[in-house]
Amino acid sequence: MQTYLVGGAVRDKLLGRAAGDHDHVVVGASPEHMLALGYKPVGKDFPVFLHPTSGEEYALARTERKTGRGYHGFAFHADAGVTLEQDLARRDLTINAIAEDARGVLTDPFGGVRDIEARVLRHVSPAFVEDPVRVLRVARFAARFAPLGFAVAPETMALMRQMVRAGEVNHLVPERVWAETRKALAEAQPSAFLRVLRDCGALAVLFPEIDALYGVPQRAEFHPEIDCGVHLELVLDQAAQLAPGDDLVGFCALTHDLGKALTPTLELPRHVGHEHRGIAPLRALAARLKVPTEHAALAELVCREHLNAHRAFELKPATLLKLLSSLDALRRPARLDSFLAACMADKRGRLGHEHDAYPQADYLREARAAAAAVDAAVFVAGGLTGPAIGKAMETARIAAIAALKANHPESGSAV
């Protein structure tokens, strides 16, 4: 029995990055042997065990064979006769097909170290085409490693295009698409995720609402990048900077402008009403991918209200309170922060505007604080009951926001 550290932990060590989970492969052992040593079985489709003390995963070396379409169309074989090289051969990318033994000696049969040095995402073998999830994984790794200069190898991109043409990605289950997308949105450069998927044709299949934004023009005086798809890429990367690792803010950024793809041609490059047109495609996308409820709900609010956030200084106090109430911001200030991060990303996601100030964020937080400071106890003590308390509180909150507005240097006089 021999054990090896494999996958991301080895790759990240070579890149000088902090490693996440430590996964191991075990060669020369049987399930019975692992159980006798105290390992706890957790694998459903193939033998995976948890170390009795560290809790880290140890999987028996295995091979796999394609038996049908989609992610589940595989048969796995694991026994003491499967070699380390055979196990590494089934992995997706060369940079993930490196093993390290207890002495630190690397086993690298597919040139993963070379590709790490060359900053290349390259498939291990032609068997890459058998698993459509790999298209999403490559795009996700591009989002993670693009800041380090990684790019997809031309021959790997060719295989991915072949998979799309063959209809393999059509068989991806929504849960896997969302799982990979969610991870990509939390990476350092999510725009690379979209670009890779678009280059291989998968974006149009998996995210037609997003793919439709590319080639749609915007007014150059407001959007020097012009193309709505390019704008979306810029917004995603701004969101990743403003809220690192936050896939909720990332999803809001991803879907905030879907309505621009539905602007009538004769109205271009203006997009009047796009914030309302975007609701239907957003709901369709969220339902299709089974997106978590909070992601879908906040994304819809960002889609509908981001223009109001941009013009916060122009809004009447009653409208500001309505905006805050729609966000449930008085009870959930963190939700307001997520909303504002997505709106700020939209404002900065334009060529030449990457460092623009966004004073609207502090103003809306101050308005929220002023409204939240209104205490119901005052009105109860004054003898009000039932709905009258709510009405009085609303009036007092509008007055509090009006006082803030009157004293704010950037705010207008509208009340």
CB 45 within 8 A of CB 76: yes
In this prediction, residue 53 has a pLDDT band, given cuts at 50, 70 and 90, of: confident
Q: What are phi and psi of 388, to 5 degrees?
A: -65, -30
Structure tokens given for 305: 């209200």
In this prediction, residue 66 has a pLDDT band, given cuts at 50, 70 and 90, of: low
What's the pLDDT score for residue 68? 55
What's the pLDDT score for residue 178? 98
Average pLDDT on 331-344 reads 97
Q: What distance in Å separates the CA atoms of residue 11 and residue 236, rounded to the nearest whole number?
A: 26
CB 163 within 8 A of CB 129: yes
Residues with Cβ within 8 Å of 60's Cβ and at least 6 positions away in sequence, in order, are 25, 26, 29, 30, 31, 34, 46, 47, 48, 78, 79, 82
Q: Say what the pTM is.
A: 0.91
* Residue-wise pLDDT tens digits, 112-124: 999 999 999 999 9
Average pLDDT on 314-323 reads 97
Q: In the CATH scheme, what is the code of domain 1-110?
A: 3.30.460.10
What's the pLDDT score for residue 410? 78
134 or 409, higher pLDDT: 134
Task: Answer yes or no: is pLDDT of 69 > 70.
Answer: no
Structure tokens given for 100: 């390290």
Average pLDDT on 356-363 reads 97
In this prediction, residue 381 has a pLDDT band, given cuts at 50, 70 and 90, of: confident
Q: What is the mean pLDDT of the chain?
A: 93
> Is the four-CA dihedral 110, 112, 118, 123 of positive or negative sign?
positive
* Residue-wise pLDDT tens digits, 217-235: 999 999 999 999 999 999 9
Task: Answer yes or no: is pLDDT of 73 > 70.
Answer: no
Tell me the one-letter amino acid at 19.
A
Q: What distance in Å separates the CA atoms of residue 140 and residue 196, rounded to the nearest whole number?
A: 9
Residue 217, SS3 per DSSP: strand
In this prediction, residue 42 has a pLDDT band, given cuts at 50, 70 and 90, of: confident
Task: Answer yes or no: is pLDDT of 360 > 50.
Answer: yes
Residue with tokens 């299949």, as numbered in its chain: 205
What's the pLDDT score for residue 415? 33
Task: Answer yes or no: is pLDDT of 210 > 80.
Answer: yes
Residue 63, SS3 per DSSP: strand
CB 345 within 8 A of CB 238: yes
In this prediction, residue 302 has a pLDDT band, given cuts at 50, 70 and 90, of: very high
What's the pLDDT score for residue 413? 44
415 or 240, higher pLDDT: 240
CB 339 within 8 A of CB 298: yes
In this prediction, residue 20 has a pLDDT band, given cuts at 50, 70 and 90, of: confident
Residues with Cβ within 8 Å of 364's Cβ and at least 6 positions away in sequence, in order, are 309, 312, 320, 323, 324, 336, 340
CB 134 within 8 A of CB 121: no
289-321 in b/e form (b: 16+ CB < 10 A) is bebeeebbebbbbbbbbbebbeebbebebebbb
Distances (CA, A) of 139 to 143, 146, 157, 183, 365: 6, 10, 10, 11, 36
* Residue-wise pLDDT tens digits, 184-200: 999 999 999 999 999 99
CB 232 within 8 A of CB 211: no
In this prediction, residue 80 has a pLDDT band, given cuts at 50, 70 and 90, of: confident
Element (H, E) at 41: strand 40-41
In this prediction, residue 414 has a pLDDT band, given cuts at 50, 70 and 90, of: very low
What's the pLDDT score for residue 45? 67
Q: What are phi and psi of 50, to 5 degrees?
A: -100, 135
CATH architecture of 119-202: Orthogonal Bundle (1.10)
| Domain positions in the chain | 1-110, 119-202, 207-366, 369-406
What's the pLDDT score for residue 82? 87
CB 33 within 8 A of CB 129: no
End-to-end CA distance of the chain: 77
Q: Where are the alpha helices (DSSP H) in 243-326?
A: 247-255, 274-277, 279-289, 293-310, 317-326
Angle at 76 between CA 74 and CA 79, to 5 degrees: 175
